[in-house]
Structure 1
């Protein structure tokens, strides 16, 4: 069997598809990967990939601006090249499959074109597209609720309880099974060169701590001054030498670190991705913002303390590595929404102190200071990554934040969404009076139950109207039915606790709109979810 995975995203997101790649490879599938040309070197760090097809995304966008018709021809020809390039004798099998984990319409179009031309090249029906696809009329389509949930939850920071790697795994149809960990490790020569380089630059150091100063956005970046204070303390008190890593665009941050007088080995902008991997594999630990470097280090098994500021949160983009330490500010507004204008002058960036990170690095990660191992600090939520009984990435609170409304609500969503998106029955949740119950405040519980009660009434009404509409599809009944349908989405969208369900409800409505039987089943599914949710909260 041969599969093609399309991932046209950035460095960190590309690294986070490693479990999916390994999961598909475990099925004895030959596996090709389509990625952006600018991240093809990152793709070379991934295991279980037989061939990489780099796409010149920048050139494609320029062509679209100059001549969109000619650009479409270019996309067609490139897709044909991929399809035919995969059409070697071993790939002439009817069980070929395409997995697209990029929701953009351009990626959906590419997946469809490769599928059509792949079938044509092999003289067989087009291979099925899993994940994000496109229907015959050019509209977006998905073959699994997990793909729809990824879209719905990405814009709602309160409704994103699963790690991205887990959602991609489920969207690929890989089921409940342990997720293989680990990217391709650097060769022995590369590891040796990295260690010798650091030892030559700091021969008296007892160890090395990598630091990633940059982030995708300045609002998500811990201040350089905080990194510098941490670096000074690690060297002064423990003889641990900071090693600065990052790209050429971040070198100004390294200069600011050095200008502070803090000791360091500055490798920013001086390493290829393979050399960066070797450095990360040879340091004692990493301190990083939520970055591609963090995900690469997790894939290499490097211990770390990761900071999640502004829109970043460890629940959905935390390191896919057990035992990693994640720190975020303990502020009511965190994590904030995308395109959010901060009224608090980015106070979250200074809420986490260098002293706290030092205690976590030295005490909990390196185990050198037993007195500081259990240290916490006001203003911070501290988590340790782990796996739950269903093989999902999970977080264990080290700072007493498990019994908070935010954490408990995330637990509720994990419990319900995992079964709902797997399209398993929810009767066991609704009828089980002895199961786990969330410890929510009275205010949060009442607010959630009120929304669920409203939705339940309208869903019951929709069931009755669907019966009438099936028997008599007259225009007045259709109009009443559509008004009730829109009302369900409005109820969900009005509550921050359920706004992701609004997007899910509408997206799945398009998928189920083929006939009244499918529509009725869609209503019944959401009615069951709402009932189970209410039962869990009562």
Structure 2
């Protein structure tokens, strides 16, 4: 069967759909990919893709501004080209935007999965996993699944088997990567750019640093990166600065900061002044295309990075990552999909609890203090330990929650704490969500027996109170529905709808359960859902919450 996968978002999201593409190909399907034209080179690094159809998004928008008829003709030409060349039997749309939904429908395939539109133009996601992926962004503390695994589920694939390792790549998410010649050229280029004071035979290897991020507030300070880069250089490693042309000022600031530290250090050692020394780094910001970036990463023993597309590229190439997640970014949903990678979050407590992660679209009330919470000395020690193949769990990183990527017992990517944060409420809640939400989203019954969540008394009381109230409302809804089915009086309809709304508002009022409020709304408002369907949904929701109640209730 010909399966067309649509991914019209950023570089990282495109690379994270590799596991979905490979899973479909493993089932015997011929897979093609639609992506934005500026990310088409990334698609060339992916495995199991039989054809790539670059969508000229900027050109389409320009035509739309000039003449909507011209834009419509451009759109039609693109669709006709895909259908004539590939003739998709199924379309899987992994992008929740309205234009992507419309495009997916336009191909008129026999089957469309993921983010779709119905015949009236309303959103009609084909799986709860698709709805969950879109809704999870509304509650940053409730994203227990990595987006790679969610993409796979949206594409109709089962849980990942424990990945085998072949040629240094995880079978779950291994990109095709650069050619042997490209890798050789990258190594030669790095060798030629080595500082004169550090000949290649004396170097312990290259370490890549990605200074930029999608937002400034999600970027670890340049000064912190500079301290790590200087420490690596002094230990015999060569820091390699990566990034786009727009990130060259960040690289210049890092080099200047290292020069200043070296000058100050030399002056202190001699008791006087000293001339500035040249920073022992290789600066490739703005100097690589995507394939050259991939080849350069393959020549490095480690990538130290913010949450970026470069991080996902490195993970897909089997390059270990030491990734820093700040503000809205968190590794539970967008961390590197490669076992053994390390992710850091700021451990920044406030009077109302941990600050990170913060919600999208909210102003920071702490002057972005989380950016400065993670101390460079700890990151440097962790990087050196990872490069030496040592025990990362023995390294202390002040100001950080430290997580290591593993494959969980459920076959999905998981994180294990290396910093003693396994017992905090946030982690325990994520564990509970993984145990309960995964079967619910798969349409299965919740597990019969689960251990107590072990939440703090305050959190357990708040959740138990909310869950108990919602369960009472769901039972009331079922009784009202039974009466309504026998005698559909207008007054009973009003009461029934009011109870339905109270279920939503009660869940929404409890921050830790807000995601269930949106999921309840999504399911209850499905087109064509009749009274019988709503009552069945209420029963299923009740079973989920009953299991949750058993887990969060305080021990006697």
TM bracket (short chain): over 0.9
Match among 450, 453, 456 for residue 465 of structure 2 = 450
Equivalent position of 2:282 in the other structure: 265
RMSD across aligned positions (CA): 1.5
What is the alpha-carbon distance in structure 1 between the residues aligned to residue 498 and residue 532 of structure 2?
A: 19
Instruction: Please say if residues 378 and 398 of structure 2, whose CA atoms lie closer than 8 Å, have aligned partners that are also in contact.
Output: no
Residue 31 of structure 1 aligns with which residue? 31
Q: Determine whether 1:286 maps to 2:306.
A: no
Secondary structure of 1:167's counterpart equals: helix
Q: Deviations over 1:100-135 (max 9, x none)?
A: 010111111111111x2xxxxxxxxx4111111110
Residue-by-residue CA offset, 1:231-256 (whole Å, 9 max, x unaligned): 111111x1101000111111111111
- Displacement of 1:514 in angstroms is 2.8
Question: How many matched pairs?
Answer: 513
Cα distance change on mapping 1:81 and 1:245 into 2, 3 Å: same
Decide which of 79, 90, 115 is 1:97's aligned counterpart: 90
Distance of 1:336 and 1:112 partners within structure 2: 35
TM-score by length of 1: 0.93
Report the alpha carbon displacement of residue 458 of structure 1 after superposing the two structures with TM: 0.8
Identify the residue that residue 376 of structure 2 maps to in structure 1: 354
* 8 Å Cα contact 2:149-2:413 kept in structure 1: yes
Note closer, same or farther for the CA distance 1:517–1:69 as it changes in structure 2 (3 Å cut): farther
Q: Alpha-carbon deviation of 1:263? A: 2.2
**2:163 is the counterpart of 1:171:** no
- Range with bigger deviation, 47-56 or 474-483: 474-483
Question: Could you tell me which residue of structure 2 aligns to residue 119 of structure 1?
Answer: none
Q: Which residue of 2 aligns with 1:320?
A: 337
1:391 paired to 2:374: no
Report the CA distance between 1:473 and its aligned residue. 2.5
- Shift of residue 421, structure 1, vs aligned partner: 0.4
* Deviation per residue, 1:465-491 (Å, 9 max, x gap): 111222222322221111111111101
After TM superposition, give the deviation of residue 196 of structure 1 in Å.
1.3
> How far apart, in 1, do the equivalents of 2:241 and 2:55 lie?
31
What secondary structure sits across from 1:33 in the alignment?
strand
- Per-residue CA deviation, residues 31-74 of structure 1 (Å, 9 max, x unaligned), is 11000111111111111111011111122223333444553443
Q: Name 1:220's counterpart in structure 2.
A: 218
**Hey, what does 1:59 align to over in structure 2?**
59
Going from structure 1 to structure 2, the CA distance change for 1:257 and 1:76 (only over 3 Å counts) comes to same
CA distance in 1, matches of 2:358, 2:528: 34
Contact 1:367 1:373 (8 Å CA) reproduced: no
What residue is the counterpart of 1:106 in the other structure?
A: 99
Report the counterpart of residue 123 of structure 1 in structure 2: none
State how far apart, in whole Å, the 1-side matches of 2:64 and 2:230 are: 50
Distance 1:137 1:208, change over 3 A: same
Is the aligned partner of 1:440 residue 2:455? yes
Cα distance, 1:445 vs structure 2: 0.5
Q: Tell me by how many angstroms 1:512 deviates.
A: 6.0
Residues 1:109 and 1:483: Cα distance change in structure 2 (over 3 Å): same
Alpha-carbon contact 1:98-1:111 (below 8 Å) kept = yes
What does 1:119-518 align with in structure 2 at a 5 Å threshold? 126-178=109-161, 180-202=172-194, 203=200, 204-236=202-234, 238-260=235-257, 261=259, 262-331=279-348, 332-363=354-385, 365-367=386-388, 374-426=394-446, 428-429=447-448, 432=449, 435-511=450-526, 513-518=528-533
Q: Give 1:367 shift.
A: 2.2
